[in-house]
Amino acid sequence: MTTVLGLCALIAVDFFIGRKPHDVSIKEAGIWTIVWIVLAALFGLGLLIAGEGQASGEFFAGFITEKSLSVDNLFVFILIMAKFSVPSHLQQRVLLFGVLIALVLRAIFIAAGAAVIANFSWVFYIFGAFLIYTAWKLIQEARADEEEEDWEENRLLKSIEKKFGVSDRYEGTKLFVRKNGKKIMTPLMVVMLAIGTTDVLFAMDSIPAIFGLTQDPYIVFTANAFALMGLRQLYFLIGGLLRKLVHLSYGLSVILGFIGVKLVLHALHENGVHVPEISIPVSLGVICGVLVITTITSLMASKKQQEREAAAGKDEASKDSIEA
């Protein structure tokens, strides 16, 4: 309970500081990104100092995994912002409420997942198989090299818009306005709902993934909370860099596949089958190693692509000058 109250206090401070709509600078985003990462590190170290070495390792493995999956989710957030033409000074408000909605949804999923795991150990087979399938799907999408340039609203969001109606322009920070005597939503409210409800799909792989690293609901929730709360600032800090992480899907597929195998091995072990289990230090090493390699290869590939595009531009310019 103390941890939850502490997290609520941090969220309140974050909300108080960002309550006034404004364009978020790189400096502001960078400072707050560092603050959230440091707080997460201090929490994990606090568990270690308190003698909870296993819980500390599980927290760091879970936090890093959730953070990396959240970075991938930022691609969708960018598409949603573009879809609804959200003014730059309102984007931080959208993300703040979107993250709050996501936290509530994650808490519900975590509670449900913990209850299912406590009563039905065979669910580890389902979680493991689902993660392995998700990993394979990510690889297929990455190999297809097809970028999603648009985002489609889900059925729930469309039904809400149809029921309440939506105004044709933003009304500052207002979520509802009255038009012709009827209370309708503003586009800002729709975007907040879009960000929050889209997280339901994100949770479909992130929650099973972290349960593959720890079965402690406390660690699952805190790792998710720390990963999500710094997501808003990370959006503004690395928005441009995201385009350069061209191999991120491959890295995430390896991580999800690895955790899926870990879950299946754990399920077999629980059923009395003598199979090796993957320890948390090994899991943490694999996750960090994959992310480092993915980042390096992505930046190298992006640099080569830029060089090829620059060379192609020069050749085109030379042809134009010759023709002239």
pLDDT tens-place string over residues 240-269: 566 677 787 788 888 888 888 888 888 887
d(CA 324, CA 321): 5
- Give the mean pLDDT of 200-228: 82
Max alpha carbon distance in the chain (Å)?
A: 79
Domain range for 305: 1-310
| Per-residue tokens: 286 | 């694999």
Residue 323 included in any domain: no
Tokens 């029921």 belong to residue: 163
Would you state the structure tokens that stand for residue 9, as one six-digit string? 């206090």
Name the least confident of 98-112, 146-160, 224-238: 146-160
Identify whether 98 is part of a domain. Answer: yes
Q: Using CB atoms within 10 A of its CB, is residue 135 exposed (0-12), middle (13-18) or buried (19+)?
A: buried
**Domain-embedded: residue 54:** yes
In this structure, is residue 319 part of a structural domain?
no
Q: Please state, in angstroms and rounded to a whole number, the distance separating the CA atoms of residues 249 and 139.
A: 7
* pLDDT tens-place string over residues 29-85: 778 888 888 999 999 999 999 888 889 999 999 898 888 887 767 777 777 887 788
SS3 48: helix
pLDDT of residue 19: 59
pLDDT in tens, 167-201: 878 888 788 888 877 888 888 888 888 877 777 66
- Write down the pTM of the prediction: 0.73
- b/e map 276-314, b = 16+ CB within 10 Å: eebebeebbebbeebbeebbeebeeebeeeeeeeeeeee
Judge whether 324 lies within some domain. no
Distance CA(244)–CA(296), nearest Å, equals 10
Closest C-alpha among 30, 29, 39, 31 to residue 9? 39
Strand locations in the chain (E): 176-179, 182-185
Indicate the number of domains in the chain.
1
Which strand (E) or helix (H) includes residue 288? helix 280-323
Measured CA to CA, the distance from residue 216 to residue 198 in angstroms comes to 25
Position 300, amino acid? M
246's tokens: 């061209």
| DSSP-assigned letter for residue 167 | -
To which residue do tokens 């061209």 refer?
Answer: 246
The encoded tokens of residue 307 equal 């060089």
Give the residues across from 106 on adjacent strands.
none
Residue 115 belongs to some domain of the structure:
yes
Residue 317 is assigned to a structural domain of this protein: no
What does each C-alpha distance from 213 to 11, 39, 206, 248, 278 come to in angstroms?
A: 26, 21, 11, 21, 9
pLDDT digits (tens, 9 = 90+) for 147-166: 445 556 666 677 777 777 88
